[in-house]
Structure 1
């Protein structure tokens, strides 16, 4: 509820907004009176601003002497045609300087009343910040040497009824920026470039995998059983079939079914949904990459993960030493590889093989120990004492087998699973296994994992069809999962995952 002190200020702000919109609508009405559609029309053959700027070398310079003996410099250049949004206007009498931006860059426009003629000048009087226009003109330089399009014809393409954010402050509230992403993209410094980089990273990942002979597939997003991960699903119901369904929490089990069917190299880049909390590193809807390769193992997946990341960095042209906050990540290959138990011994100061030491350490850290398997405690200790120390990129390898129910064991150490997680600045980025393909052991591990869960729990059902698929023979394989949003976050120096998701989930907007 508004306080008495804040109410007049809010009312003044609302009045100002209404006045701005009214003024813009008056200009819109004037355009209509001139026979101009304020919502624009088709505008063909425009050039990207970056391409126009690249024509600077075609500008020629002529020097002449005036009657008074002063040397004058004039320029001539190619005819160009661009379209974009007005982000800055500086009217000075019978001249207007405009900064126009499109998805590739910014350029200055010069409109002179004498140069553009009365009708174009009349259109120019209806311009506001945020409007979208097209221009035809000559690319030249001003006396100060700034690359400028000297407008000859002005085309009105879209009227903006709301004023853009203040140039130097922008939208400072993070939630408002994410809610009004269209404004954030249009006016936020570096925002559009960041999301363009995301598309380049995703395209690079596809190109890397296709180049290695992988098939991209599209698996179902509605599942009868929440499998492939331990996470709370979103639940729904199919009316025609009269059956409950869940949104997928992982891509894994359907991709493995394809290995059984003979698609020996498969991947999916797709959305995954987990009905869990929101944080700088978590969003309920996120993008995952999962990859499976027959006749490979977790070492195969380490090499592939490294190639994916290095190629993505090449695609965005950022080099291998990338800033992240006030730190730097060095992605120069090869990435470091460290054993889970060695890291636990180093940072927790315990003998990982000694259950008594593990329990004592867990209690010292304030972790609940009652009824927990020692390997579960080991992993909780690892999360508390090790993960934040992993600057990386570092592959942490060879996890306790009991916490990896979908992973093949080492033949000479059955208590160890052939699994790795890739950590960068304390954040898990990738998870990979040598996949378990023994159907009897898989069924046994599923049953052990599900013990104690309530029958009505949506995660307490075994995927019997997946076990049946394994009985039909899945080749030995390596499997990999990478969180795409986290990868983009790290490669683009973004502080939270929400800054690399175009439309993150938000609470209802306050009214």
Structure 2
């Protein structure tokens, strides 16, 4: 009887309920239906790709979650995808049509008010679309989801840095960047000569929280080091910039878009450089997706975008925690 009573009391203290309320689940379902209808009307193909792959993400800032599988009686390590990008690009190279996907994605060590190890991503690719055309389509999608017209503010990475940090990120010396970081209390991070690392810290703490409160804001013309899979061009001042934009609403990053790189050898070189940096940092070396490298030369000219579905629902409904917009946060999954 004592054991039965102890078991009963223990069970009583377990909270099995979803972290998301029923009304929020209904809003989420309606938003997903609206998104699917938006793409159906534009004849964009919905696809589904594997969530598990033999290759991992080489990006040092996007840690993959590994899983042990057995294939024909042999143990192997596979990786849960951090986005559906690699597999979708292989489809795109073969089929050459516009496509989208809504799926769970996985990133290790991501837990917090805006982060969960498993979250939902909307990703779509548009052959023959420029970044400007993709930005227009994003504005149209937001207008449909919000139910009111949404006009996006365009703001370059350098302009934002100049306004909120007081330096030009593409031309400032490493010493001046570190000096500004030290003035704001970030000098102890020990990033050494990692120029982009220092810029990322300044951007995430001093710029991001200020963006997208008056209107959804697109940050454009990023440093090439921030966009491994994007094309590079020169801006009006002659500085090399990545053809990329990010969407911010209420200080939260919502989406990330590229004018996609279609050069297999250049892509492989970037993956190999990532792995060299991983080795320097003592991080696991990731198997490169050779299927993607092979497909890359056949990619059509296109732009692609990844959008965080959970974060979009957060800003739509005004909640502060991602747990409020997903069925079970990682602590209760």
TM-score by length of 1: 0.57
Normalized per residue, which structure has more strand? Answer: 1
Distance (whole Å) between structure 1 residues aligned to residue 101 and residue 326 of structure 2: 18
Compute the displacement of 1:432 (Å): 0.5
Q: Is the 8 A contact 1:233 1:246 kept in 2?
A: yes
- Residues 260/312 of structure 1: CA separation in 2 closer, same or farther (3 Å cut): same
Q: CA deviation at 1:415?
A: 1.9
Distance 2:82 2:301 in 1: 24
Equivalent in the alignment of 2:326: 501
Highest RCO, 1 vs 2 (Cα 8 Å, sep ≥ 6): 2
- Structure with greater helix share of residues: 2
- Runs of 4+ with >6 A deviation: none
Within 5 Å, give how 1:271-350 maps onto structure 2. 271-314=104-147, 320=148, 332-350=149-167
Structure 1 residue 457: Cα displacement: 4.9
The residue aligned with 2:41 is 211
Structure 1 distance, partners of 2:199, 2:331, is 35
Q: Which residue of 1 aligns with 2:306?
A: 481
**1:272–1:288 CA contact under 8 A, matched in 2:** yes
**Residue 414 (structure 1) shift:** 6.5
* C-alpha deviation, 1:496, in angstroms: 1.1
For this pair of structures, how many residues does the alignment match? 313
Equivalent positions of 1:25-40 (< 5 A) are: none
Tell me, in whole angstroms, the C-alpha distance in 2 between the residues paired with 1:202 and 1:228.
30
The 5 Å alignment of 1:290-439 reads: 290-314=123-147, 320=148, 332-352=149-169, 353-355=171-173, 356-365=175-184, 366-367=186-187, 368=189, 370-390=191-211, 391=213, 392-410=215-233, 413=238, 415-439=240-264
Q: CA deviation at 1:435?
A: 0.6
Q: CA separation of 1:364/1:421 partners in 2, compared to 1, >3 Å: closer, same or farther?
A: same
Bigger Cα Rg = 1
Does the 8 Å contact 1:228/1:253 carry over to 2? no
Cα deviation per residue 1:383-433 (whole Å; 9 max; x = unaligned)? 121111112410111100022110111256572001111111111001111
Structure 1 unpaired stretches of 5+: 1-10, 16-161, 163-172, 186-190, 315-319, 321-331
| 8 A contact 2:150–2:216 mirrored in 1 | no
Q: State the Cα distance separating 1:272 from its structure 2 match.
A: 0.5
Task: Give the corresponding residue for 1:257.
Answer: 90
Helix, strand or coil for the counterpart of 1:261?
helix
Alignment of 1:468 onto 2:294: yes
The gaps in structure 2 that reach 5 residues or longer are none
